[in-house]
């Protein structure tokens, strides 16, 4: 009964999105049939374009997981964007500056450094929340800007490639680049890593005492406290895990796609992660689905803009509208429940 109604709800959302998309296409003066066939061809047209979905989806899976873990614990981490950059910067520092190490340990160390950097960056917000009661929402947003500017400073000073003079680091040695999985496409080892991390996060959150405690803290900190679960412990774990995952998104984008540290290469995937987590109802196992659907929409819409002149900004409108209607539905159904009680 419950499953069936959930399915019906999802189908309803899909129908509404298609309707809204059609309206937006028509309003931009294109023919819906052309636009949608270009959209689908943009995604499924070639091996390469199809694989782009996984390339674009990989960092979103990780930032989405980051937000889902944090939100489940009641820690409103809006800072995946900054944690992404701190992770990428730490990985760049290790991968580019520790060249006395052989490749494999260097790459592993870069991953560890990226996880730690992201985790510590979000731990600042957790500390300020726990110790001083300062809203983590605001602190993580401030930390985003500090991190973005920090990368700006880094690529102009200690991580700058002296030979180029541009604000960017040296190129990562070819041996240290995460290998591609399919010839002729950009899909890389980061994607299976992201899936493995999804499974790991699901396992931690659902099957371990640690994860159980974190969920209780998120559901009801008061109840957690009286049953002997440390609220601070839950929040700290959640902050480190969440920030670390966002940091890994930065590490993987750096080591597989950009291959140098640059400014502005996250393409807002930290902020998008918040919405991905929400679309996945903060369930780790659903995050890859939401992330890949979003990435596919982006890839298809880019083709639609190129070939049918429909602005790709349509995707942002639709995602925003979907989240808003999810909130509106939650409101209406709570009202209905209230009415039933009275």
Tell me which residues touch another protein (CB under 8 A). 24, 27-29, 76, 78, 128, 132-135, 137-139, 141-146, 149-150, 152-153, 156-157, 271-272, 274-275, 278, 309, 311, 313-321, 323-324, 327-328, 330-331, 334
What's the min distance (Å) between Cβ of 248 and another protein? 22
Query: Strand, helix or coil at 45?
Result: coil
Please give the sequence-ordered ranges of beta strands (E in DSSP) within the chain, or none if there are none. none
- Four-CA torsion 150, 153, 155, 156, nearest 10 degrees: 180
Query: Is the Cβ of residue 35 or residue 319 nearer to another protein in the bound state?
Result: 319
What's the min distance (Å) between Cβ of 280 and another protein? 13
Query: Is the Cβ of residue 255 or residue 290 nearer to another protein in the bound state?
Result: 290
Phi, psi of 180 (to 5 degrees): -80, 155
What's the min distance (Å) between Cβ of 111 and another protein? 26
Containing H/E element for 104?
A: helix 103-132
Query: Is the Cβ of residue 5 or residue 157 nearer to another protein in the bound state?
Result: 157
What's the min distance (Å) between Cβ of 52 and another protein? 20
Query: Is the Cβ of residue 108 or residue 138 nearer to another protein in the bound state?
Result: 138
For residue 30, give Cα distances in angstroms to 35, 37, 38, 311. Answer: 7, 12, 11, 10
Compute the distance between CA of residue 245 and CA of residue 202 in angstroms, rounded to an integer: 13
Query: Is the Cβ of residue 49 or residue 325 nearer to another protein in the bound state?
Result: 325
What's the min distance (Å) between Cβ of 335 and another protein? 8
Containing H/E element for 146?
A: helix 136-154
């Amino acid at each position: 009964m419950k499953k069936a109604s959930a399915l019906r709800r999802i189908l309803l959302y899909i129908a509404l999105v298609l309707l809204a998309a059609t309206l937006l296409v028509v309003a931009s003066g294109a023919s819906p049939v052309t636009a949608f066939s270009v959209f689908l061809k943009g995604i499924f047209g070639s091996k390469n374009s199809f694989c782009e979905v996984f390339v674009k989806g990989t960092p979103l899976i990780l930032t989405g997981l980051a937000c889902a873990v944090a939100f489940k614990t009641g820690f409103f981490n809006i800072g995946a964007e900054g944690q992404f950059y701190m992770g990428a910067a730490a990985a760049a520092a290790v991968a580019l500056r520790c060249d006395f190490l052989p490749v494999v340990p260097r790459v592993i160390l870069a991953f560890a450094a990226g996880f730690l950097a992201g985790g510590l960056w979000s731990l600042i917000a957790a500390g300020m929340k726990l110790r001083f009661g300062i809203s983590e929402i605001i602190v993580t947003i401030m930390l985003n800007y500090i991190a973005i500017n920090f990368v700006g400073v880094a690529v102009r000073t200690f991580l700058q490639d002296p030979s180029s003079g541009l604000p960017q680091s040296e190129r990562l040695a070819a041996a240290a680049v995460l290998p591609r999985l399919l010839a002729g496409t950009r899909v890389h080892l980061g994607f299976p890593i992201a899936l493995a991390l999804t499974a790991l996060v699901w396992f931690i959150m659902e099957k371990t005492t640690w994860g159980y405690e974190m969920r209780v803290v998120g559901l009801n900190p008061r109840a957690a406290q009286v049953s002997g679960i440390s609220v601070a412990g839950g929040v700290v774990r959640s902050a480190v895990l969440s920030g670390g995952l966002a940091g890994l998104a930065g590490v993987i984008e750096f080591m597989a796609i950009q291959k140098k540290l640059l400014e502005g290469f996250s393409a807002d995937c930290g902020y998008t992660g918040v919405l991905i987590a929400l679309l996945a109802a903060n369930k780790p196992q659903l995050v890859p689905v939401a992330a890949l659907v979003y990435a596919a929409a982006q890839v298809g819409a880019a083709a639609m803009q190129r070939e049918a002149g429909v602005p790709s900004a349509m995707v942002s409108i639709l995602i925003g509208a979907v989240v808003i209607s999810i909130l509106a539905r939650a409101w209406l159904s709570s009202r209905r429940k209230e009415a039933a009680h009275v």
